[in-house]
């Protein structure tokens, strides 16, 4: 009897021991944004409101690697959902650590995923790509990365401009959930035409095609994500495992005793056209509307100002119950503390227009360029990498730029925004 108990005991731990002893540790992640974006969800006013009376319960069930693999195999998906220890690490992160924040994210997913899926299907893309924003930003609309990516889809500046999104001192349409999804869908579709493999596309979406192409070359031209995994930048290689774990989570959260927070997005608003620039602070103080509410329903405005330099930038969203009051007090709002909220003679500049036809080669909005001899001096801007920069100069490759600047695979990673590099071309 004692022998049977001992064998049973060791069999139990052989199967489930990993579920008991493994402790998710997000501090070991190279990419710190996974945890940071989840924590940012607590800043949203509608999340704070929804958490009132909500109780997050502990996980009680135990799962083996085989359980996770079988669950992933059952999910109907076009994209390969491979399971391994790297994926397990992120499943543990989402199901064991940060459970309260994950429940907010799950609540937001019920609002956003139907919108994202509709747009992705319109573009004939795999519907499970709708989970990408959850990995990129946890559905936090104001998410910003160190390299300048912004919004739920974390689009870089150069990519967003190619696909028609407006970005200026005042406006960033990457923060618009719907507009950014259209741009992301077009970008993903173009990347699939290049790689014909969705895991490579997802990797390229995060770290750029230049890094993926370099990893493919270093892996002996193998066009398989897991074959190039070790050759990708450390901060980016975690992205695909995190994506697979997110697909698992969205389809199996109930098994982990996770319950989506019931969130009501602030959709009860009316759009009004302003006659002149107006600050959220003016509207907030005159109409007694919390400024956080104005920011959340007007997410595309970066510095709390509706600049009103054209029909695209003069729209202000106001809670429906305050729309008539705004119309009645508009002049008072414009004049209220205008010398406090606006500097005298402040000039508003329209952003340049960028063509979005075909591909990167059509992007003409590069950094500052000066010509000296046989080189163009280019100032690096947010979202750039050498491959994207090279596409603006016919006949120039990213390797040409590396040679002109004496760069290697290590030093190229240390290039910074605002740094000037040489492009080996002659002035036309």
pLDDT of residue 94: 95
pLDDT of residue 251: 97
Produce one character per residue of 406-415: b if its CB has 16 or more CB atoms within 10 Å, e if not: ebeeeebeee
Q: CATH assignment of 366-423, given 2.60.120.260, 3.30.360.10, 3.10.350.10, 3.90.1150.10? A: 3.10.350.10
pLDDT of residue 8: 42
3-state SS string for the chain: CHHHHHHHHHHHHHHHHHHHHCCCCHHHCCCCHHHHHHHHHHHCHHHHHHCCCCCCCCCCCCCCHHHHHHHHHHCCCCCCCCCCHHHHHHHHHHHHCCHHHHHHHHHHHHHHHHHHHHHHHHCCCCHHHHHHHHHHHCCCCCCECCCCCECCCCECHHHHHHCCCCECCCEEHHHCHHHHHHHHHHHHHHHHHHHCCHHHHHHHHHHCHHHHHHHHHHCCCCCCHHHHHHHCCHHHHCHHHHHHHHHHHHHHHHHHCCCCCCCCCCCCEEEEECCCCEEHHHHHHHHCCCHHHHHHHCCCECCCEECCCCCCCCEEEEEHHHHHHHHHHHHHHHHCCHHHHCCCCCCCCCCCCCCCCCCHHHCCCCCCEEEECCEEEEECCCCCCHHHHHCCCCCCCHHHHHHHCCCCCCHHHHCCCCCEEEECCCCC
pLDDT of residue 278: 95
pLDDT of residue 2: 41
pLDDT of residue 177: 95
pLDDT of residue 121: 97
Q: Where are the domains of the chain?
A: 21-256, 269-341, 366-423
CATH class of the region 21-256: mainly alpha
| Intra-chain end-to-end CA distance of the chain, in Å | 89
Domain 21-256 and domain 366-423 have a common topology: no
Q: Which residues of the chain have pLDDT under 50?
A: 1-24, 26-27, 345-366, 427-428
pLDDT of residue 54: 86
Contact status, residue 317 vs residue 298, Cβ threshold 8 Å? yes
Paired tokens of 112: 């956003």
pTM: 0.74
pLDDT tens per residue, range 179-218: 999 999 999 999 999 999 999 999 999 999 999 999 999 9
pLDDT of residue 372: 64
């Amino acid at each position: 009897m004692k022998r049977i108990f001992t064998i049973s005991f060791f069999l139990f731990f052989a199967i489930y021991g990993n579920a008991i002893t493994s402790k998710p540790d997000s501090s070991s992640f190279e990419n710190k944004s996974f945890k940071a974006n989840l924590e940012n969800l607590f800043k949203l006013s509608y999340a704070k409101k929804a958490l009132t009376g909500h109780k997050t319960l502990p996980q009680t069930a135990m799962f083996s690697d085989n359980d996770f693999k079988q669950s992933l195999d059952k999910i109907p998906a076009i994209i390969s959902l491979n399971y391994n220890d790297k994926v397990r690490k992120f499943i543990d992160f989402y199901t064991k650590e940060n459970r309260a924040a994950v429940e907010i994210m799950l609540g937001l997913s019920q609002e956003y995923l139907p919108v994202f899926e509709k747009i992705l299907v319109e573009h004939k893309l795999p519907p499970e790509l709708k989970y990408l924003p959850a990995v990129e930003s946890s559905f936090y609309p104001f998410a910003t990365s160190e390299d300048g990516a912004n919004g739920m889809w974390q689009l870089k500046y150069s990519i967003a401009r190619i696909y028609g999104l407006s970005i200026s001192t005042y406006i960033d349409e990457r923060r618009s959930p719907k507009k950014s999804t259209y741009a992301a869908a077009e970008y993903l579709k173009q990347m699939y035409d290049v790689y014909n493999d969705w895991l490579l596309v997802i990797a390229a979406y995060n770290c750029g095609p230049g890094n993926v192409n370099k990893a493919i070359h270093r892996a002996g031209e193998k066009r398989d994500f897991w074959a190039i995994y070790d050759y990708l930048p450390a901060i980016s290689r975690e992205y695909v495992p995190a994506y697979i774990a997110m697909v698992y989570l969205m389809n199996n959260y109930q098994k982990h005793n996770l319950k989506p927070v019931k969130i009501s997005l602030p959709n009860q608003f009316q759009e009004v056209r302003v006659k002149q620039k107006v600050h959220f602070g003016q509207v907030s103080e005159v109409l007694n509307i919390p400024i956080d509410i104005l920011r959340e329903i007007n997410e595309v405005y970066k510095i709390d100002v509706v600049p009103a330099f054209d029909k695209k930038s003069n729209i202000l969203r106001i809670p429906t119950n305050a729309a008539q009051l705004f119309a009645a007090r508009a002049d008072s709002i414009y004049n209220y503390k205008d010398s406090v909220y606006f500097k005298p003679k402040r000039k508003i500049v329209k952003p340049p227009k960028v063509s979005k036809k075909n591909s990167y080669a059509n992007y003409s909005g590069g950094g500052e360029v000066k010509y000296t001899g046989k080189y163009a001096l280019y100032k690096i801007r947010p979202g750039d990498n050498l491959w994207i920069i090279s596409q603006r100069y016919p006949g120039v490759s990213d390797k040409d730029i590396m040679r002109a600047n004496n760069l290697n695979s290590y030093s190229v990673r240390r290039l910074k925004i605002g740094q000037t590099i040489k492009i080996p071309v002659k002035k036309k």
